[in-house]
Chains A and B, each alone.
Chain A
């Protein structure tokens, strides 16, 4: 089955989405991430969406839900690399990604997470 790889870097989990997301893939990633947070005792999750040229309401919801679940499991989530056209479209679509932290790129995202984890 098709899966998006999750890399561990110290206390952080890194996900770079480089394939065209469909709904089943998004749900699998959400499940995999929550499981890995617990198994790896991760304190932060960084999701790089710079390669995504479409984020629709389903993928947006997956990102929001993942951030909420991570929070309950004592991990912070940062989404990085959103393309400007995607950001404009998300707002017009009515999706606000409540509770999701964002950063411009991976470097800033990692810094943000590191600063939040004591």
Chain B
């Protein structure tokens, strides 16, 4: 049984929105007692996914929730856009694959940096990526 508490919703339309999201996420990670390395990994993952929402999804929003179970707490971030979606997910999750002239590490890198990773996408149906970092009590 997971108890969820919404923390914030940040629109992602500009580069500055990405910076704002990183700052807000960092503040919550500090409050929840995550270590500096865990904070850095999660803020970096947020930066990668927020950029994807902006560049490939044509903008969207990030939602951040605090999660509680009996033995652990976590931070979940959900990035959603109404963009073109991803046709070949396996390819998009391959290190080094990019359609945007980047390094192709955003999606695969964010997956490695988080504890849980979930993606829901289809051509023409937008993209929704969710990541969670857990902390044991």
Q: Judging by beta carbons under 8 Å apart, are A89 and B103 in contact?
A: no
Contact B112 A56 (CB under 8 A): no
B40–A86 contact, CB under 8 A?
yes
Decide if B36 touches A56 in the complex (CB within 8 Å).
no
CB-based contact A54/B102 at 8 Å: no
A93 to chain B, nearest CB (A): 4
Known interface pairs A54-B22, A56-B51. Does A93 touch B112 (Cβ–Cβ under 8 Å)? yes
B118 at the interface (CB under 8 A from A): no
**Complex contact A57–B40 (CB within 8 A):** no
Q: A20 and B102: CB pair below 8 A?
A: no
Whole-angstrom distance from the CB of A19 to the nearest CB of chain B? 9
Q: B40 contacts A95, CB within 8 Å?
A: no
Number of chain A interface residues as a range = 20 to 34
- Distance in Å: Cβ of B114 to nearest Cβ of chain A: 10
Q: Which residues of A lie under 8 Å from residue B39 when comparing CB positions? A: 85
CA distance A86 to B40 in the complex (A): 7
With A53-B43, A92-B41, A94-B95: A20-B22 Cβ-Cβ less than 8 Å: yes
A13 to B102, CA, bound (A): 27
CB–CB B108/A56 < 8 A: no
Question: What's the Cα separation between A22 and B22 when bound, in Å?
Answer: 11
Q: When the two chains form their complex, are residues B102 and A61 in contact, meaning their CB atoms are under 8 A apart?
A: yes
Any B CB within 8 A of the CB of A39: no
Shortest CB–CB separation between residue B43 and chain A, in angstroms? 5
Contact with A along B30-59 (1 / 0, CB 8 A): 000000110111011001100100000000
Q: Verify if A55 is at the interface (C-beta below 8 Å from B).
A: yes
Asked whether, in the complex, the Cβ of B40 is within 8 Å of the Cβ of A93, the reply is no
A22 engages B16 (CB within 8 Å): yes
Instruction: Return chain B residues, CB-CB under 8 Å to A24.
Output: 15
A88 contacts partner chain B, Cβ-Cβ < 8 Å? yes
Q: How far is the CA of A22 from the CA of B14 in the complex (A)?
A: 10
> Does B62 lie at the interface of the complex (its beta carbon under 8 Å from any beta carbon of A)?
no
Q: Which of A24, A94, A95 has the most CB of B within 10 A?
A: A94
CB-CB < 8 A to A60: which residues of B? 103
Which chain B positions have C-beta within 8 A of A61?
102-103
Q: What residues on B are CB-neighbors of A83 within 8 Å? A: 40
